[in-house]
Amino acid sequence: GAGVSQSPSNKVTEKGKDVELRCDPISGHTALYWYRQRLGQGLEFLIYFQGNSAPDKSGLPSDRFSAERTGESVSTLTIQRTQQEDSAVYLCASSLDRGAYGYTFGSGTRLTVV
């Protein structure tokens, strides 16, 4: 597609429920990144994919968080047993190769855990 597409744009869920966030990167972009942005904070790195492998998943906060990517296409970030501290905007970005020339970001998914 023309840009990075994320869905849903907004998600409200009850504490303890599982959620899935989707990212559709720009066609041909081999690298894909997930970041979390809490209110008033900077971007916190979660995980990075090169193709469908994840060379760096060091930012995942706990084993409740997982992500997968199909080929060089769609990625899904799953949060199990959501907690209130998971409330944030989850941003996805993609880039050519390793992104030496910058990333293209999606508009994000705003997750609210109530």
Tokens of 36: 């979390």
Residues 6+ apart with CB under 8 A from 75: 22, 23, 25, 32, 34, 49, 67, 68, 69, 92
Write down the least CB distance from residue 44 to another protein, Å: 8
- CB under 8 A: which stretch of 15-23, 60-68, 70-78, 102-110 binds another protein? 102-110
**Position 11 contacts another protein (CB under 8 A):** no
Q: Toward another protein, which CB reaches closer, 28 or 42?
A: 42
Q: Toward another protein, which CB reaches closer, 10 or 81?
A: 10
**Position 87 contacts another protein (CB under 8 A):** no
**Position 104 contacts another protein (CB under 8 A):** yes
**Position 105 contacts another protein (CB under 8 A):** yes
What gap in Å lies between CA 101 and CA 71, rounded to an integer? 22
Question: Is 77 buried (19+), middle (13-18) or exposed (0-12) by CB count in 10 A?
Answer: buried
Q: Which of 24, 29, 33, 75 binds another protein (CB under 8 A)?
A: 33
List of residues contacting another protein (CB under 8 A): 4, 33, 35, 41-43, 45, 48, 56, 91, 93, 95, 97-108
